[in-house]
Each structure stands twice: as structure tokens, then as C-alpha cells.
Structure 1
Amino acid sequence: MDKIIENLKAKEETLWINPKNAKVNNDEFSKDDIEDARARLDRFAPLLEELFPASRKQRGILESPLVATYELQNKLEKYYATPLFGKLWFKLDSHLPISGSIKARGGIYEVLKHTEDLLIKANLLSLNDNYKKIANDEIKQYLSNFQVAVGSTGNLGLSIGIMSAKLGFKASVHMSSDAREWKKAMLRSYGVNVVEYDSDYSVAVAQGRKEAQNDSNCYFVDDENSKSLFLGYAVAARRLAGQLKSFDIKVDSKNPLFVYLPCGVGGGPGGVAYGLKQEFGEHVHCFFAEPTHSPCMLLGMHTGKHDKISVFDIGLDNKTAADGLAVGRASSLVGKVMDGMLEGIYTISDDEMYRLLYLANKCEGLRLEPSALAGAKGVVHINKLYDSKALENATHIAWITGGSMVPDEEMDKYIQTGKELM
């Protein structure tokens, strides 16, 4: 009997430690690839500054705050009745400009890369230009001849749809049944074509891909396989290294770094984890967090079948309040890249995400969506897994993936749900 599979079938919260983890990076991508992505984002900064006022405080650089969570860590010790060694921080991708989630990294990056490729090919742009020129009417008119499509549970669709529409592209977002109504409404307010499905994420992606194949002017952002998305996420690691340095936080053998990343199809957490391994090598320990109803990455990596197995195959329903993580089949790219690099994966129930959402609001004043809190329980698992002496100087970072765009009325419901569950 496979105890891990039995636990997943029973929807029990499960911690899986990767037996293949060699604590080293693989060579799927290089530091040069990540640096190329970073440089491209820098080139586009003047344009983003022009198009999105919310990005002006950072001069068009899309980056999020790193904040200490002292009060919450103390509360978690009491709530879980266990001492938590090391210091817990939140990386607030929930507060990224433009689309308010981690998807602003990979999704926006891929649209920008596609835009650059098209305009350079048409002799409308060179690498030495000020990219602010892309906002002019001539270029927007040219881009209106092209379409960008994506399949999404919500947040990726927001980043792709908003960015594409602002640049002048026709944009189509194929939304799964898990997508929140407010996300669909926001996309439509930007003029994005929202195509709704009664089925899950995989069907939305398949239909989006099919549409693109039938139109030579349609570019499909493939969340299941995209290397561009992956590299956009990976840039976050270099930026985080700078933030840690600004706080005089060391990362070495005596000062380990633990990072907990909510995981849907895997592109976002996979890209960030890959970049972190490039930056910190064996001194960073990355864990993914998935809903108990949608543990596609854990299932794929544990069985070695990756995208060849679905949560439906073991009787799960892929239905979760963590809409951004409601994915039944893992990325064919990410699981294989992570095979020798990822420390482990744990699952978390919807109720627990709501409780943590409530505690984060009560202790730190943060307003976050349920999926964003999946990483917040990682510090508890690791304190039970590692010797306390090994964690005395540890830095724990829960990657908070979304929430700032959630309408107040919806957010108040989230917080009330968490309060009632407490």
C-alpha cells in the first residue's frame, strides 16, 4: 500500500519529502536565461510606468514587498501549540502592480516578450529604443491585428488579459468553472473576451490552445508548458536576493532559507524555486503547497508520472476555494525540472487556508485570497521536520500569491468565513 496515495485519496493533509532531491540545480535553464528575462523587464519598465499608474512608485519595475510577520508567527505558535524557530516573512506578490498576484511576473513577462518579438520583426522597435514608444497609436494599431489567448482559473487570465488589452492586442481568456465572477468582470471591463466553461482548468487550456492553432495571428500562452512564463517567474529570485541583503539577512550553511510556494499547475512556484536555486544553491529549501482536493504536483512527482496522471485518477474532485490552485494535472515541464531540486510538497485543506487568512488579517492587517495562504503553514511542517538547532538562524518565507485585487465585499466574506472556522 502506498501511504502517500492513500492519504491523498482521503484528502488528509500530507507532507511529502522528495527522495530525488539532490539540493542542486539542473541545467534546463541558465543564469544567462534569467538575466535575459530580467533585462527585458527593465527595457519595458518605461512603458509600464506610462500605462499603469500603480507601477510608477517603482518606476515600472514589477516587484513586491518582503515583510516580517512577527505577530502572526507568535499567533501560529499558540494556534499549532508548537515553537517555531527562525523568522517568518511574507513575500507579498498579492500586492504586485497591474494584476495583484504572482501571475503578474510570468504572465505579463510572456506578453511583453511576444510584443517585443513581433515589433522587432516588423522593424517597429529596436533594443535601443525607449519602449515607451510602444504606447503610441501606430504601434497599438499594428498590434490590434494580433490576438493573445490563455486558459486560466483566474489570476493568470487577469495578468495576460489586462496586459494584452492595454497594448492593443485582441485578448481572449478561457476561464474554468473555478474562476471567480469578479475576475471575469474585471477582464471584461478592459475589453477582454472571456470564454466560460463548466469544466475545470485543463479543458479551458485545451480550448484556448485549439483556438490559437486555428489562427496564425493568435498567440497562446501555454501555462502547462511555457518556458517564457517560467523565466518571468525566475527573475523574482534575483530581486529577493537584493531584498534579503537590504535587511542584512544572510543565506548560508548556518543561516538556511526556507521558501513555501502555493502551487497550481506549477509554472509560478517552479520558476521562483528554480531561480532561488540559482541564487542560493544548497542553502535554500523550497516546498510547494497544494489544496487537499487538487494535489496534482505532489501526485505527479511522487508517482513519477508528472502530467500523465490526474487527481481525478485517484478519485479527487479538484474542487477548492483556492481557485488559483484548482488544477488537476501538473505541468509537463515543471515537475521534471523540479525532480532533483524540490525539497518537498505538502497539502492543506480549504478550511485551514481560511483560518490562516483570518489570522493574517487579524495579526498583520493583510487582506488576502485563500490560495495565497497555502504557503503560510510551511513553517509549522518544517519545525516538526528539522532539529530546532538547525532552524535557530533560519529565514522562512511564505510566498503570498494574490489578494489585493479582490473586491472588498468578497474579501469581507473570506475573512468572516475564516473567523467562523476558528
Structure 2
Amino acid sequence: MNQKIVGKDKRDWIRAFPLIEKIIETEEVVWINPEKENFSPESGVIKKEEIVDAEERLERFAPFIMRSFPETAASGGLIESPLLEISQMKKRLMKMSKEEIKGRLLLKGDHALPIAGSIKARGGIYEVLKIAESLALSEGMISTDDDYGMLQEDRFRQFFSNYSIAVGSTGNLGLSIGIISATLGFQVTVHMSSDAKQWKKDLLKRKGVQVREYPSDYSQAVEMGRQQCGEDERCFFIDDEHSRDLFLGYAVAPMRLEKQLKEMDVRVDEDHPLFVYLPCGVGGGPGGIAYSLKMLYGEHVQCFFAEPTHSPSMLLGVMTGKHDAISVGDFGIDNRTDADGLAVGRPSSFVGKTVGPYLTGIYTVEDQMLYKLLYNLYQTEEIKLEPSALAGMYGPVQIARNGWFSANYSAEQLQNSTHIVWATGGSLVPDEIMESYLQKGNV
């Protein structure tokens, strides 16, 4: 008897969505959203005022961040990353793929974000800061007009030590939350799945974070974190699958990106389309960024999510409309990938329902291609990323190969276009491990 998957036989799912057959075979695929909607700020689940509020909160914390993390001094305590032109990598991509990439190719360098060295420094750190602010305000220890640099004082650390924070993570979210929580004085536990890299666990332990490891995947780590906080009213669980605050922390990024694009004389309008490629795990980071980009640029920006061939959870969830009711395991896909931050078998329903309607498409990439791209990016631009961060790099090739660009834009529009690959992590990777990554890609 065939096992039912959300009420249907596997064969029925394949008949309804023929692409599933290739997805099951872990082949690289491109899915273009046939029901994509135009973004409407009025009907959006998240309002612009909420994103502005998040940005203002991060600005209030800038003095504390600058004093706690001197590497942020140049940016005045703002946790931000560079926007880089990678023209040599563009030439290498075209040579590798035999596909023409028209327009400029830029890299949003979230691998270089201070404190946590990944995109998770945005959402993860933001949510912890919001918790800290709420607690301190409720006790009358601060007001929003104060210099938040005072949160470095021992009295605040002692106060926050009465509370705990927990999170389930495959790696980078745990790093960002563990580091900032420990700095503030919280008791913090990171529940980590078997996919998490050992060096990330070791780094957290050195920062004074309690790390609990599980032989299963991301879902179990999240469940154990929920369970921990369910038993303790002074524990805050940071829920990567459902958190609105994580989402808002990520959504601040495009507001800052807008200024960077203007500084680089990059126009975004009907004649100058913008294409953005975002590596996707459970979905919070790319979801918050894509949503905010659509709020800023509407139909002048097209957003694509990128997943490993062995962990296409958001693709299955959004394509079928079943979101977190469906998992890669339901189709016999093993969810094993070296792209640890993307090793998620079941996507966020909140992100899928909030952002899915506005996504232009989702594509998948093989692990070996991630390593090959990693090696070639270092050779051409001397930029070091971790494997998962390269998922976005294959986007311009995949979408060009699919024929979507030429079917939807004129040659002139494409020549005036800009592609942004979102680099999600890499600067904290130990040298010996990065060297092994480069060797894997040099084939």
C-alpha cells in the first residue's frame, strides 16, 4: 500500500506537480511560480511601520553594540555588511556555464557581518535585543531616550542572568543568538542538530553558551528548545519557524541596501530590473529580506530562493501550497547536505504563506556545485564563503538556462539589470576548514 502524503499518494502528487519527480531524484531544478502575485503593501501581513520600528530599535542599541563589539566601531554600532561588485566572478560563471549573464553582478556580503559572521546576525541578534529592551523597560531600568551603552553595566548583566534564552539551530542562528545573549548576561542554551558543524559548537562553548546536541535533524533541535522554554516562564524560545521578530530583523536589511545601491549608482525601475538570489533554509532570513525588497521596489525586483537538492523543503511547501504540512522526508529525500544552514526538512509555514505568493521562483543546487562556486569565487575575488552561502551564486545561471529572463525582459532591460547574490555566511570559518572547502571545489 502506498503511504499517503498529506492525504494523497506520491503518484498523485507527481501527476499534480510533475517537477516533484526530478526533485525526488535530487536533480537540480528550477520552479517558476505560476501563481505569483503583485505585492500590495496594504494587504501584506507585515507593515512598513513595523520594519521602521525594528530599524529604530537597532539604532538605539548601537552604543551598546559598539562598546561590546569594537569591530562595529566604524559603522557606529550598526551591524551591516558591504555590497560588492564581483565582475570577475561574473566572467567565471559565464565561462563555467556557457550561459550569458547580462547586467551587473553584485554580492551582498552578509558573510562579513560583525559579531556572528552570517545573515543570522540580523534576525537573531535583533530578537534578543528586543527581549532585553522589553525586560529592562518593564523594570524601569531604562527609557528609550537613554544611552543604551549603559546595558554593559554589571547591574544589567545580573538582571538578565535571571532569564534564559533557547533556540534550535543547524549552526549560524545558534551562533548569533548564543553570542549576543551571553554578552548581555542571559543564560543561553542552543539546541543543535547533527547537521551543525563542530567548529560552530566549539565556538559557542568558548563563549559560555550551553550546547545540547541531538542525533536527529533540525526539527528535533527546535522541538527540544520549545520544550525547555515551555517548562520555564523566565525562558524565551526563539522560534526560527514562526518568529515575527526574527523576520523583522532580517527585513531591515533592504532599507539599508537601498542606500548602498544609490551610492553605487544602481537604479531600480522598470527599465533597470533587480534580481535577488537568497539561500533558503527554514525561510526566515530570505523571507524577511524578500518581503522588504518587494515593499521597496514592487515588481521591479524579482526574488528567487535557493536550496540544496537534498533539502528542497521550501520548494515543496510553496509549490504544493502545503507549507509545513509536507516535508522532504515524505518523498524519501534524505535532507543530508554540507550546506548546514540550509539542511531543513520542513519549511516555515509563516514564511511560506507570507512571502510565497510574491516569490518569482525557487531553484536547487547540488553540493558539489556549491564547492565549485566557492573555489571559483575565491580564485576570482578572494572572497571566502561557507558552502551554503554559495547557493545564491548559481541563480543567474539557473534562471538564464531556464529561459525565464529572455521570456520576460527585453535585451535592453537585461543589459541594464542588476543581480544580487546574498552571501549568508563564511567569515568565521576556521582556516583549516576553509582550506578543505577550497580543495573540494578545486576539481
TM-score (norm 1): 0.99
Instruction: Give the counterpart of 2:405 among 378, 386, 411.
Output: 386
Separation of aligned partners in 1, 2:335 and 2:77: 37
CA contact (8 A) 1:322 1:350 kept: yes
Separation of aligned partners in 1, 2:70 and 2:193: 30
Residue 381 of structure 1: how far off its partner (Å):
2.3
Separation of aligned partners in 2, 1:223 and 1:339: 17
Instruction: Give the counterpart of 1:81 among 81, 98, 118.
Output: 98
Corresponding position of 2:231: 214
Count of residues paired in the alignment: 420
Alignment of 1:244-393 (within 5 A): 244-383=261-400, 384-387=403-406, 389=411, 390-393=413-416
Separation of aligned partners in 2, 1:142 and 1:183: 28
Q: Which amino acid aligns with 1:272?
A: I
What 5-or-longer segments of structure 2 have no aligned partner? 1-14
Separation of aligned partners in 1, 2:35 and 2:178: 37
The answer to whether residue 57 in structure 2 is matched with residue 16 in structure 1 is no
Residue 153 of structure 1: how far off its partner (Å):
0.1
Could you report, residue by residue, the CA deviation over 1:149-194 in whole angstroms, capped at 9, with x for unpaired residues? 0000000000000000000000000000000000001000110000
Corresponding position of 1:417: 440
Separation of aligned partners in 1, 2:74 and 2:438: 29
Corresponding position of 2:188: 171
Could you report, residue by residue, the CA deviation over 1:345-392 in whole angstroms, capped at 9, with x for unpaired residues? 000000010000000000000111000000001111232321261311
SS at match of 1:36: helix
SS at match of 2:190: strand
Separation of aligned partners in 2, 1:306 and 1:365: 38
Instruction: Give the counterpart of 1:50 among 67, 76, 80.
Output: 67
Residue 340 of structure 1: how far off its partner (Å):
1.8
Corresponding position of 1:192: 209
Separation of aligned partners in 2, 1:328 and 1:83: 33
SS at match of 2:34: coil
Instruction: Give the counterpart of 2:155 among 120, 125, 138.
Output: 138
CA contact (8 A) 1:20 1:339 kept: no
Separation of aligned partners in 1, 2:388 and 2:175: 16
Corresponding position of 2:86: 69
SS at match of 1:174: strand
Residue 264 of structure 1: how far off its partner (Å):
0.1
Residue 98 of structure 1: how far off its partner (Å):
0.1
Could you report, residue by residue, the CA deviation over 1:232-270 in whole angstroms, capped at 9, with x for unpaired residues? 000001000000000111000000000000000000000
Could you report, residue by residue, the CA deviation over 1:281-325 in whole angstroms, capped at 9, with x for unpaired residues? 110000000000000000000111000001000000100000000
Separation of aligned partners in 1, 2:169 and 2:143: 32
What 5-or-longer segments of structure 1 have no aligned partner? none
Q: Name segments (4+ residues, structure 1) moved above 4 Å.
A: none
CA contact (8 A) 2:30 2:399 kept: no
SS at match of 1:399: strand
Q: Which amino acid aligns with 1:119?
A: A
CA contact (8 A) 1:307 1:331 kept: yes
Q: Which amino acid aligns with 1:416?
A: Q
Separation of aligned partners in 1, 2:52 and 2:239: 22
Residue 339 of structure 1: how far off its partner (Å):
2.7
Corresponding position of 2:5: none
Could you report, residue by residue, the CA deviation over 1:177-233 in whole angstroms, capped at 9, with x for unpaired residues? 000000001000110000000000000000000000001110000000000000000
The answer to whether residue 58 in structure 2 is matched with residue 41 in structure 1 is yes
Q: Which amino acid aligns with 1:12?
A: E
SS at match of 1:239: helix
Residue 4 of structure 1: how far off its partner (Å):
1.2
TM-score (norm 2): 0.94
Query: Identity over the aligned pairs, expressed in percent?
Result: 54
CA contact (8 A) 2:165 2:181 kept: yes
